[in-house]
Structure 1
Amino acid sequence: MSQFIYKITPQAAWREAEASGRFTGALIDVADGFIHFSTAAQVRETAAKHFSGQVDLLLVAIDAASLGDALKYEVSRGGALFPHLYGVLEVNTVKWVKPLLLGADGAHQFPPLEAE
């Protein structure tokens, strides 16, 4: 069974990645030396904690197995294991990209996620 992981990113940054064929990460990813991802169980909390109220976001889904040994699960927030990619994300490995819209309550509205 495939394990999907997710990246929340501003639409403009993702459009740049599509043009170049690779996503090198947001500023925090570059500073930390890896690209931060979340599992299906973690991504809603990630949105609330790091992207609250933001618009023009996209949710990017990736099959974790396609990333090979460059993907490591490491202890992060609250002791949970979060997926971190030590390398670039090749756009052709992405399964889907969907808008992450804000609902009337101010929370992001997620599409159905794989591996929930």
Structure 2
Amino acid sequence: MELETAVRLKSNLVHMIWIDGSYDMVRVQEIIKYGRGSGVDLGPYDPVLYAQAFGVTGLMIRTADDIVPVLKKAFDTPGPVIVGVHVDYSDNHKLFEMVDETGIH
């Protein structure tokens, strides 16, 4: 719905989607605290094609070298733009190994 609204209002905005195959921003914290994640695992989907179905410009960052040119193109494009980038959170648990229960190392 938000994409349709952004197109209809001709909103100049850039929204980046971090693609990790799930709908769960805090899985690593849930696993540490509860021993399991509680989010939704998603099947394969293409947010760029989804955006384009609404008439939104869709761009994808595929390599580190793409970051600057893709973001420059996104911010230079009138109307709403969706930028997809695949991310891998498999090492995020290492961020919490240095933090105790109070959140202080």
Larger gyration radius, structure 1 or structure 2: 2
The TM-score with structure 1 as length reference comes to 0.25
**Per residue, is there more strand in 1 or in 2?**
1
Give TM-score scaled by structure 2 length: 0.27
